[in-house]
Amino acid sequence: MWDGNALIYIEYKVHAYNRNGLCAVGFMDDHYPVPSAFPLLNQMSVASDSPVHSSSSDDLAAAELDSASDASSDSSLPSEEEDDTEASNHEEVEIEEASSSKGECEHPGSFGNMCFVCGQKLEETGVSFRYIHKEMRLNQDEISRLRDSDMGFLQRQRKLYLVLDLDHTLLNSTILRDLKPQEEYSNSHTHSLQDVSGGSLFKMEFMHMMTKLRPFVHSFLKEASEMFVMYIYTMGDRPYARQMLLDPKGEYFGDRIISRDDGTVRHQKSLDVVLGQEGAVLILDDTENAWPNHKDNLIVIERYHFFASSCRQFDHKYKSLSELKSDESEPDGALATVLKVLKQAHALFFENVDEDISDKDVRLMLKQVRKEILKGCKVVFSRVFPTKAKPEDHPLWKMTEDLGATCATEVDASVTHVVAMEMGTEKARWAVSEREEVCGA
């Protein structure tokens, strides 16, 4: 008698173990030419309203298995002999595994409270992958296996992973009632929701919200998708993330949209729920503190404050871009600049075409790219650090060195920049007299 978990077992084993990765449950099924079982998870849920033990359920399971079998054969290699051999070998493996005692099952994951391999009831363990399916959990060994197996795909496709924040990184949103009088003009400048590809300002009456896409975002996503498998990771909720107009055709993110409810640590973001090796992942976010354990993967982007409510949220006293009736530059804005960094890191990672990438780490490439930013600069700080503190221990000093500059405490002829809290300091006045760069801290 087949039930929903038996069907999940078959689909997962055939398509996740016989091939690679989690395509069987709807995860990145564009990676592998096999049918996705994601719709089956919805149809064959073990929820109480699913008639999993009825004869109609058995018929549905049989029909779905036949359908999956046909689809799988369509996507296989054209040789009949190879098909027969693969089917025979796979059948032997499945029979052997299916006949194993439940005590020998390693329980790689669960659907609901049941192991999707042996059907045994389990305590709630492992990492939840709600964005794949709300009842899906995988243990750490299985997550590691999937990450390892996916490196082959990355090498063939010459792709890495890119995790993108949403708010203040790719767009800015505001509640309609929070629009200031100086921003009311925007109500007559919104674009149609029927064709989002050509617009950037949208009013969503059903959400009582207005959203402004960051300049260059369409080009950014298109070019980045050629180098990266992309995720959205937002501290917003899932319905909000899915309405944000960045991927209406599902060609960039698919189901890889992670919301605040999917994380493993409250009020933090983590790569725990990203099925990619950490050494192959880059992150783009406006908030460094959101990623306490992954700062080496992180590219921090300047926050996009289009609406006045966004400035108020971060206690900024200056006017927003909307109030100024202005916007970032398309060719020279933040996203265009970041895209150049991504291209450099990607090119360094795949510099040697035939080199095995399993031991490579994109974080080292990112450090290398960063060191080019202030290469050749010598920076002196003036009244930036507390009097009794060691300057070399301050995050600003360390960041400046990470960007390739040399830091010093006293000015001399080799100094190129002075960073000062105010223009009246002796070092700042020296910089002005020497026509050097003076930056406010």
- pLDDT, residue 179, reads 96
Question: What is the pLDDT at residue 389?
Answer: 85
- pTM for this model (two decimals): 0.74
Predicted local confidence at residue 440, as pLDDT:
64
Contact 132, 119 (CB under 8 A): no
CB 150 within 8 A of CB 20: yes
Please classify residue 412 by burial: count the beta carbons closer than 10 Å to its beta carbon, then call 0-12 exposed, 13-18 middle and 19+ buried.
exposed
258 phi/psi in degrees, rounded to 5? -100, 130
pLDDT of the residue at 431: 84
Name the nearest CA neighbour of 103 among 117, 84, 91, 90.
117
Q: Are 417 and 439 in contact (CB under 8 A)?
A: yes
- Give me 6's structure tokens: 């038996």
Cα–Cα distance measured from residue 170 to residue 78, given in angstroms and rounded to the nearest whole number: 43
- Among 98, 100, 51, 43, smallest CA distance to 68 is for 43
Give the pLDDT of the chain (441 residues) as one tens digit per residue.
334 443 443 344 333 433 333 333 333 333 322 233 333 333 333 333 333 233 333 333 334 334 444 443 444 444 444 444 444 444 444 434 433 444 588 889 998 889 888 888 888 888 999 888 888 899 999 999 999 988 989 999 999 999 999 999 999 999 999 999 999 999 999 988 887 777 899 998 888 999 999 999 999 999 999 999 999 999 988 888 888 778 888 899 988 999 998 988 888 999 999 999 999 999 999 999 999 999 999 999 999 999 999 999 999 989 999 999 999 999 999 999 999 999 999 999 999 878 889 889 999 999 999 999 899 999 999 888 888 889 999 989 998 999 999 999 899 999 999 998 888 888 888 888 887 766 766
What distance in Å separates the CA atoms of residue 14 and residue 34, rounded to the nearest whole number? Answer: 10
